[in-house]
Amino acid sequence: MTEGNFVDYLKVYASSGSGGGGSTHLHREKYITKGGPDGGDGGRGGHVIVRADNNLWTLFHLKFNKHFRAENGGHGSKQRSSGKDGEDIYINVPFGTIIRDGETQEILFEITKENTEQILLEGGMGGLGNWNFRSSTNQTPRYAQPGIEGKDGWFQFELKLLADVGLVGFPNAGKSTLLSVLTAAKPKIADYAFTTLKPNLGIVQYRDFQTFVMADIPGIIEGAAEGKGLGHRFLRHIERNSILLFLIPADSDNIEKEYKILLNELKQHNPELLDKNRLLAISKSDMLDDELKEEIKKELPKGIKTLFISSVAQQGLVELKDELWKMLNN
């Protein structure tokens, strides 16, 4: 999946099917002059249903197909035959998708679990045929109910990535490199800021064939929560991560200051993010000798466990995976 194919926000127009009308048929048969009413009921209109699909992780498949219309129900007919129910139409979305009303922005529901199906718009009920209205005083009703019209409207689909570990850091902190080394993901890597323009997901292989999901969130800069840089567009993806892995390079001028800036941006976006488990990794540590590491340790932020790693030199990665696995399973 390339960066250009990542879509995490779009609007969709949906329309459920109208119910079929009831029949006003009167029974006619040789030798039966007054057969009476036998009009059947109309069929239900098709629903519009949003369905979880664990093979998806972006809304890109909806980018060029934003209109969904369910089938109308069939009309009732003679001999009390009911009309065919309209076929439901499904909109497949990845886990973590939020569906909002397109006008009010009200959250209607979220898709967060496997095999989840939610009706977005119900199809209209079919009308009753004249057979339902017969009585001792009205033996030949010549009327039936029309079907109820379907519903329609615009809806906002918003994706928040579901990942076990979210990588948080400034541009060029080494997040994409770490993801490419720990997983089979192939994010764009270069020596300039904002190389990553879209979030990337990867599956980390752990011991005994166990796995967990890691997400690389585009680099945050100071003021991201107010709209600066790219990070503010993707801060919402961090909300669904179980663990926040802060990545700060070893050649940073002030590791503690960078950590506090990152922490403040998360707080400005959503204070609840500070309640998540956090781990700090000092990247590019292959450039440090033991003496420099000891000096850096004296200036590390308090209250957070810190590991020294190097994605390129494959240093400290086993310990990092062990620590993340322990945090995920405590």
- pLDDT: which is higher, 83 or 237: 83
Cβ neighbours of residue 200 closer than 8 Å, sequence gap 6 or more: 3, 176, 179, 185, 187, 215, 216
Question: Is there a binding annotation on residue 196?
Answer: yes
Residues 215 and 160: their CA atoms lie apart, in Å, by: 11
Domain ranges of the chain: 1-160, 165-329
Structure tokens at 92: 């497949």
Question: Is there a binding annotation on residue 197?
Answer: yes
Question: Is there a binding annotation on residue 283?
Answer: yes
Question: Is there a binding annotation on residue 301?
Answer: no
Please give the average per-residue pLDDT across 5-15, as a whole number.
Answer: 88
Position 199 confidence tier, pLDDT thresholds 50, 70, 90: confident
The answer to which of 90-99, 142-151, 290-299 has the lowest mean pLDDT is: 290-299
CATH number for 1-160: choose from 2.70.210.12, 1.10.10.410, 1.10.520.10, 3.20.20.120.
2.70.210.12
Question: Is there a binding annotation on residue 217?
Answer: yes
Q: What is the pTM of this model?
A: 0.75
How many CA atoms are closer than 13 Å to the CA of 152, on its beta-carbon side? 13
What is the predicted pLDDT for the residue at 226? 52
User: Tokens 């009009």 correspond to what residue?
Assistant: 39
Question: Is there a binding annotation on residue 81?
Answer: no
CA distances from 237 to 95, 215, 231 (A): 12, 9, 10
- pLDDT: which is higher, 188 or 235: 235
CATH number for 165-329: choose from 3.90.1150.50, 3.40.50.300, 3.40.50.1000, 1.10.1200.10.
3.40.50.300
Q: Is residue 282 within 8 Å of residue 249, measured between CB atoms?
A: yes
What is the predicted pLDDT for the residue at 186? 64
Mean of per-residue pLDDT scores for the chain: 86
Cβ neighbours of residue 158 closer than 8 Å, sequence gap 6 or more: 8, 9, 97, 98, 99, 100, 236
Question: Is there a binding annotation on residue 170?
Answer: yes
Position 221 confidence tier, pLDDT thresholds 50, 70, 90: low
pLDDT in tens, 281-303: 999 999 888 888 888 988 899 88
Residues 2 and 244: their CA atoms lie apart, in Å, by: 24
Question: Is there a binding annotation on residue 198?
Answer: yes
